[in-house]
Every structure is written in structure tokens, then in C-alpha cells.
Structure 1
Amino acid sequence: MKLLKMCSTTVIKGEKASKSTEEDAEANFRIYGIISYFVVLVVIGLPIWWYTTRVYRATLPLVQMQDVELKNTQNDYGMPLSLEYDILVSFVHPDPFNPTIDLRGVEIEEHLRPFLDKISPVSDFIVKSQWLFLLDLGVTPSKTEQYLVLKEEQLPHIITPLESKLWSHISPRPTINLVLYFARCDDLPLYIFGSDDKKVESNAFLSARWGGFYIINADKTSCEKGVFKPDVNAVTSTFITHIQRLFKIDNITDTDNIYELKMRKATEMVDSTKRTLKSLAGLLSEIKSIVISDDVGNKIRVAVENADLAQKFLAQGDVDEGLKFAKIAFSHSERAFSDPSLLSLLYFPEDQKYAVYIPLFLPIMIPVIMSLSTLRKWIMVRKKKID
């Protein structure tokens, strides 16, 4: 009997030990499952999610971009700053057969080219021409015994309807419009009168940041013959005067004026570069979702470096070297600021990113985080057993 009792007791103890071992194995399995989920979701998943959804930004000299002093510059009357300009010569003839005009656009370009070559170190100029027929002024001149009179207050109303007919808006470069208007032969000669009610001798006017408008009247003999050959020298001389005023040049034949033009344009380019870079730095600080690719970052670094070099040479009076580096800085800053890649993530800010991903991660993370208490208890039990 005693032997049977001892055997049964041993069997019960063996079963308890076996159950305890199975429970420990099952508990270990659950703990290892919790640890694996935690590692996959938190240790591996969150860093990968953060890395793959982050906004890439190349290293930028932000301190140099922000710590610049900007000058108060005004360029209300001149043309927009650019390294290239289109010069669009438009011949406007309301009555193309009365008279026929003997003039080609290439003649105007040939006469303009020597002047443009002198100021070409500052910018490049591409001369184009077009003819517009059967197009009236858009305003009604007043009539006197001798003339048809365009008053000064009527001049802005000439440009507005004409603007839609010009194809200058399709060019990526700023355009200098030079319009030559041929008055009708069957009317009195057409002249511009100023605010003092006196005839403007040049019979032309200038519009700020747009270009010039020149009215030419055919002589009586040409009207009778039906063919009019304008004085190309007079036309180009008027257009050159317009360009000089737009670029604020007094006398292009004077070496000092050329030097002053180079110095002024180089300084404007350096100031524009600094203003663009500072605006870009402020934009990047406010909007964190803007991507800065390596290409854009390289353009910004080149702009910063060349702006400093240009400023250094201009301070030394070396205007040619200063202008060379200023053009490089200006070009790279404009290309960096207008790069399309800056808008690639502009409309997916941080709050929207969290709004998309939190509903995905939160239901999975809550059980994992709550199971950490079970992991803590298991660690405490293991620690007691070891002790």
C-alpha cells in the first residue's frame, strides 16, 4: 500500500512538473512573440517609415543665405533684371497698300547691332520682328487744321489693345517692345502732343518696363507713288534712345558710361541673388515639406560662392571679373528658386502625413504596447528564479 501511494504521489508530481514545463514553454513562446512584434514594428518598422516618408534636403549654407544685408533698390522705370532679352520690333500698318512700306526687319537689326554689341557684356539681346496689318490705334485722335493729334493721356490706351497682338508673351525672356506705326496716307499727319499742348518732336513715347512706340508719317510724294521707304537711321536712332532710357544709359560712346553700366548691373545682380537666396531660406524654414534635391543644393552653393566673389572684385574696382561672377550667381539663384522639384511635396505637409499613417499604425501598436506589461512581469519572474 505504501508502495502504491509513493508511486501515485510520484506520478502526480511528474504530471505537475510536466504541466509546469509546458506552461513555461507556452509563456516563453508568447513572450518571444511579443518581443518579435515589438522589434518588427517599433525597432525596424518605425525607422523605415520615418526614413521613407522624410523630406530629403541637401546640405545648404543657410547661415550665409540668411545673414545678408539687403539694400533698398528701386527699378521702377528700367527693364526687369535678366541675362537675356528679346527685342521685338513690330511694324504696325493699318492700311498695307496705302502706301506699301519698303522696309525689312533685318535692316533694323543690322543698324541696332553695333549698339547692342557695346552693351552685350551685361546681357544678350535677340532681335525679332513682326508685321501687324489692319490694326488701328485703338484711340481716336483729335483733329486740327494741320494735324491729327494724340494727347498724352491717350497714349496708355494705345498699348493695351496692341499688347494682345504681340507674341512677346510667349518668350521666356523679358521683351523690349519697339513699335513702328505707319500713319495712313489719306489722313492728316499724326503727331503726339505733350501735356504742354506742344508737338513732341520725336513723335514717339516710352512706356516703363515695356518699350517704345514711334509714329512715322509718309511724305506726300511717297503717298502719291504708293511706296514709302522710311529713313532707317532715324528709326533706329529713336529705338536706340528708347533702349538707352530703359537701361538708364546716358551716352554709350563714353567709356565711363559703359563702366558705370557694368558696375550697376553687376551690383543689381548680386543684390538680386542675395534677395532670392534669403527669400528661399525663409521659405524653407517655414515650409518643412519642400524638397531640396542635390541639384538645387548645388545651384544654391554656386550662387552663394559666386556672389561673394563678385562682391569682392567689385569692391576692388575690377568690374569685368565682378560682372562675370555676378552673372553666374544671378543665373544659378534664379534657376534654384524656380526649380520645379521645390513643389514636389509642397501639398503633403507633416500633419497630413500623420493623418494618413496613424490610422494604420495605431490599431497595431496598441496591443503591442499593452503587452509590454506582460513582458515586464515575465522578466521579473525570471529574475526571481535566477536569484
Structure 2
Amino acid sequence: MILLLTTLIIGVPLWYFTTSVERATLPIDAITALNEQYLNNIKYEIPVRLVEIPDPLSGFIDETQDLLNEKLTNSNVRVKLFKNDYLGPDVDEKQVYDLKMIMSENEDKLLVSPYSDRLIKLFVSPDVIKHGLVSDLLSRILIENVFKSEINENNSSGTGSKTKNLIKFPFSTSYKVSINFLHSDNKMLSLPDGVLEKAVSNFKSFMNSLDSLTKFTVEFQELWYENRLITKDEYEKDGFTYIKDPSMFIDYSDWGLDQDVELDPVINLNLYLPDSEKLLIENTQRNSFIIPQWGGVVIVNDDETVDYNRLNEVFDIFAFQILKLIGVDTDPDRSIYYRIDELIRIQTVENLNNSLNNFKSLIKLINQLETIPIPLQSVDEINESIRYIQTSAAELAHLNWLAAYKHSTLALKLSNNAFFHEDMVQQAYFPEEHKMAVYSPLLGPFVTIVVMALVRGLKEVKSVCK
């Protein structure tokens, strides 16, 4: 009887508290409210300030704004016009596009500054002014030229029809760039002193222009290869080997290119120097190709002179490949600064949507698996992520997209940490059958002892009663 009472009073409560699953309370109401307000429905405005407006054109601004609003009624992206120097108290002047309209005797023309000043020059002909088409021209220029890609991208993401970019790396705030010179024993890259350093300096200047979007660390290494993989689609012509499908070009098993254990995603950029053959990638102008979510390759054949100019061309190709791999638009007719701004805003929206989707999936997961733990740390990370989402959305509303981007990256990081918490991931793959397999060897002898003690106790009570 003592054993039975000890089991019931001490053993059972002790077993319950030591084996019970921690399930902290998620802020479901706050998550639901955020999803209803923002998920796939994040709206923001692009600020455009009109400066030095000629007197004949001073009265068209309100009309243009109305026209922009009408054309973008179903878009999550709006264009907001500001007059001269007035921007409002919360708008960061460094993130505003300046548009200067210039009277022109010739045809209408658009010039977008290639520098970081974000200046747009629109030359307006007398015919446009005469027929009162200034507002129509300006609205079309902004929607169909300057911000066309961004407006189309966000419209697609809002309706759920966005095509996934299979080339782009998963989002990260930092990358490692590994530049590899691949050659055989007989063919090596030989450069005059200082040439490589100068070309690398130019390349790093390019990467510094992407600092507002992401950070890069760069390493160089010289690697030897023995043989390349021969593909079945190759053919010989005029002394060259033409490669139709470069997907099997890299020999990952022998060339030592996948040995990096860095936490940051690694972008591999490879200068390939063939030894005895001359290689051409079919249907390419610069004898290069991109491997999705991995890196790029540039081939320099034996008959080419590798000097400072040629090396600069190689690094220009590497720069193009980096832009493609991190998702920046590569349209050469548009300033790199505009394209970076565009991706920052697009990525901000994507980060916020991914954070909200993490919350949505997490709620669905814990509803389906009632035994899965909810650590208090995950709840704290979710609450902090929610605050960053709200801050990011507020910054977007105030037209400060750099601050919005920064907070959206923190929100995504915390939501990922909460969703992929190790305790939750482990329990998600620990079914109830496994628990029975653990308990059965223990419960069998224990239950036998308890039952025998109970029977003995009942006999003793029965004998006393007689």
C-alpha cells in the first residue's frame, strides 16, 4: 500500500512535470491582425520631387498626381510627387528622386542620372505643352520607364502570380565572393606587377556600391584542375570546341570548389583557363555562363592576351553575374543606383511577406501537432519580429525605405529563428510511436510491481475486515 501511495502522490506528478511539453502562448491575435493588414498587401509610395519647374509648366503637378493615382489604382506601388523643396517632416531627402523638366525645341527625351544623385531629366517639346499633354507624358515616363520593373514586380507578388527567380541566391544580408583562377599545370595566369591589384580595386569599388543592399567579403584562390567533364552535346568547328549545355562543365567532385564551410552564402566566380583546347560557350557573346544559386564562369582561351583591359572585362562579367545572382536588374540602360533602390524596396516587401508567412505556418504547425513544444524563446523572438514588422511598415509609409529594409531583414531573421527553433524541429519529427517504444520497457516491470502491490493491499484490507 505504501508503494502504491508513493507512486500516486510523488511518482505520477513527478513524471508529469518532467515529461510535459513546454507550450508558451503565441501572440495569435497580433499575428492574425498583421496578416490581414499586410500579407501580400504591402503598399508604399516612391517620392519624386519636381525641381526648377519652368513657369509654363507650374500648374500641372496636381493634375499629374491625380493621373498617377488613377493609373496605379490596383497597384501596391504608388508614385508621390512633391513640389520643389517641400518633402514633409519625416522624409529622408537622400532617398528622394529629383525630376527636372527642361523646355526643348526638339523631341521629348528622358535622361536618368547614372550617379547616386537620383536625378531624372525630362526634356519637353513645345508640341506636348501646346496640346496640354505634359501630365500624360510625365505619368507615362514614371510608370512605363523609370519605375516600370518595380511596379510590375510588386503587382505580380500581390496577386500571387510572381515567377520565382531560379538564378537568384536565397536572401542574405551578407555574401562571401570566392574568385577562383582555374588552370592546369601548363596554363597559368601571368600578369605584370600591379595589374591584378588595380583590377581588383575597381571590382571592390563596384561591390561597395551595393553596401546599402548587402555586404561582401572577397577571397582569391588559384586552383588546379586535371580534366573537365566532356558533355555529349559538344562539337568541333573551325578549331574551337563549342559547348551547347554548360550545366555539366564544372567538375564539383575533383576541383575542390565546394569545400567552404562559411555561414554566409558563397558566390563562386571562376576564371577558367583551358590548356590545349579552345572553348566557346554556344549562344554567348562573352564566353561566360551562370550556374543558378552557385556562381559564374568566364573562359579565357590560350590565344587571348590577358592584360589589364582583358582582366577588367573579366571582372565586368563577374559584376554582371553578381547582380544576376543577388537579384538586381541588369538592364544597362538604367542606373545601377536606381536598380539597387528598386531591389531594396522589392526585398523589403518580400522580407515582410516571408516573415508573416513564417508566423502563419507556425500557427498551422502547432495546431496540427498538439504535442510540439513552443519554447518561450520562440515567443520572445516572434514578439520582437512583430515589432520590427510594424516599424518597417511605418518607415515605408514615411517613404524611408532604407530604414524599412533594415527592420524587415531583422524581422525575417527573428521569424526564421522562431520557426526553426531546434526544440520545435526535433519534436516535429518525434512521433508518438517512438514515445511508446521508450516507455514500454520501463512501464512493463513497473506496472507489474504496482499491480502486485495493489492486489496484496486489497488482500490485507480484506483480511482486516474479516
TM-score exceeds 0.5 = yes
Number of aligned residue pairs: 330
Deviation at 1:80, TM superposition (A): 1.2
Deviation at 1:352, TM superposition (A): 4.9
Partner of 1:137: 228
Partner of 1:26: none
Partner of 1:59: 25
Which stretch shows the higher mean deviation, 159-168 or 313-322? Answer: 159-168
Matches within 5 A, 1:160-175: 160-161=251-252, 165-167=256-258, 169-175=260-266
Partner of 1:245: 324
Deviation at 1:48, TM superposition (A): 2.6
**Alpha-carbon distance between aligned partners in 1 of 2:406 and 2:226, rounded to the nearest angstrom:** 43
Matches within 5 A, 1:274-293: 274-293=356-375
Partner of 2:268: 177
Matches within 5 A, 1:217-236: 217-219=301-303, 231-236=310-315
Which stretch shows the higher mean deviation, 316-325 or 162-171? Answer: 162-171
For 1:170-221, what per-residue CA distance to the aligned partner results, in whole angstroms no more than 9, with x for missing partners? Answer: 332222221111233x55x432222xxxxx321112222222211123556x
Partner of 1:340: 422
Deviation at 1:331, TM superposition (A): 1.5
Q: Quick one: structure 1 residues 336 and 283, their matched pair in 2 at CA, closer, same or farther if it must change by over 3 Å? A: same
Q: Quick one: structure 1 residues 161 and 150, their matched pair in 2 at CA, closer, same or farther if it must change by over 3 Å? A: farther
What's the secondary structure of 1:206's corresponding residue? Answer: strand
Question: In the alignment, is the contact (CA less than 8 A) between 1:88 and 1:168 conserved in 2?
Answer: no
Q: Which amino acid aligns with 1:242?
A: Q
Deviation at 1:291, TM superposition (A): 3.5
Partner of 2:94: none
Deviation at 1:39, TM superposition (A): 5.8
Residue 172 (structure 2) pairs with residue 92 (structure 1): no
**Alpha-carbon distance between aligned partners in 1 of 2:359 and 2:198, rounded to the nearest angstrom:** 42
User: Which of the pair has more CA radius of gyration?
Assistant: 1
For 1:319-364, what per-residue CA distance to the aligned partner results, in whole angstroms no more than 9, with x for missing partners? Answer: 1121111011112222333433334555655555464465466446
Residue 387 (structure 2) pairs with residue 327 (structure 1): no
Partner of 1:80: 170
For 1:137-185, what per-residue CA distance to the aligned partner results, in whole angstroms no more than 9, with x for missing partners? Answer: 322753333x4132332x112035478520365332222221111233x
Partner of 1:47: 13
Q: Which amino acid aligns with 2:27?
A: P
**Alpha-carbon distance between aligned partners in 2 of 1:172 and 1:337, rounded to the nearest angstrom:** 19
Deviation at 1:290, TM superposition (A): 3.6
Q: Quick one: structure 1 residues 83 and 168, their matched pair in 2 at CA, closer, same or farther if it must change by over 3 Å? A: farther
Q: Which of residues 257, 263, 277 is equivalent to 2:345?
A: 263
TM-score of the aligned structures, taking structure 1 as reference length: 0.70
Deviation at 1:296, TM superposition (A): 3.1
Q: Which amino acid aligns with 1:87?
A: V
Deviation at 1:54, TM superposition (A): 0.6
What's the secondary structure of 2:423's corresponding residue? Answer: helix
**Alpha-carbon distance between aligned partners in 2 of 1:104 and 1:359, rounded to the nearest angstrom:** 78
Deviation at 1:79, TM superposition (A): 1.6
- The structure whose residues are more often helix, as a share, is 1
Q: Quick one: structure 1 residues 149 and 120, their matched pair in 2 at CA, closer, same or farther if it must change by over 3 Å? A: same
Q: Quick one: structure 1 residues 114 and 259, their matched pair in 2 at CA, closer, same or farther if it must change by over 3 Å? A: same
Question: In the alignment, is the contact (CA less than 8 A) between 1:218 and 1:228 conserved in 2?
Answer: no
For 1:287-330, what per-residue CA distance to the aligned partner results, in whole angstroms no more than 9, with x for missing partners? Answer: 34444433333223222321233234334432112111101111
Identical aligned pairs, as a percentage? 23
What's the secondary structure of 2:404's corresponding residue? Answer: helix
Q: Which of residues 272, 275, 282 is equivalent to 2:354?
A: 272
RMSD of aligned residue pairs (Cα, Å): 3.7
Q: Quick one: structure 1 residues 101 and 260, their matched pair in 2 at CA, closer, same or farther if it must change by over 3 Å? A: same
Deviation at 1:237, TM superposition (A): 0.9
Question: In the alignment, is the contact (CA less than 8 A) between 2:196 and 2:308 conserved in 1?
Answer: no
Question: In the alignment, is the contact (CA less than 8 A) between 2:228 and 2:249 conserved in 1?
Answer: yes
Q: Quick one: structure 1 residues 127 and 294, their matched pair in 2 at CA, closer, same or farther if it must change by over 3 Å? A: same
Partner of 1:152: 244
**Alpha-carbon distance between aligned partners in 2 of 1:334 and 1:129, rounded to the nearest angstrom:** 32
**Alpha-carbon distance between aligned partners in 2 of 1:101 and 1:136, rounded to the nearest angstrom:** 24
**Alpha-carbon distance between aligned partners in 1 of 2:430 and 2:253, rounded to the nearest angstrom:** 42
Matches within 5 A, 1:11-50: 40-50=6-16
Q: Quick one: structure 1 residues 296 and 320, their matched pair in 2 at CA, closer, same or farther if it must change by over 3 Å? A: same
Partner of 1:126: 217
Q: Which amino acid aligns with 2:263?
A: P
Question: In the alignment, is the contact (CA less than 8 A) between 1:99 and 1:228 conserved in 2?
Answer: no
TM-score of the aligned structures, taking structure 2 as reference length: 0.60
Unaligned runs of 5+ in 1: 1-33, 195-199, 382-387
**Alpha-carbon distance between aligned partners in 2 of 1:290 and 1:126, rounded to the nearest angstrom:** 39
Q: Which amino acid aligns with 1:271?
A: N
Which stretch shows the higher mean deviation, 238-247 or 38-47? Answer: 38-47
Q: Which amino acid aligns with 1:231?
A: R
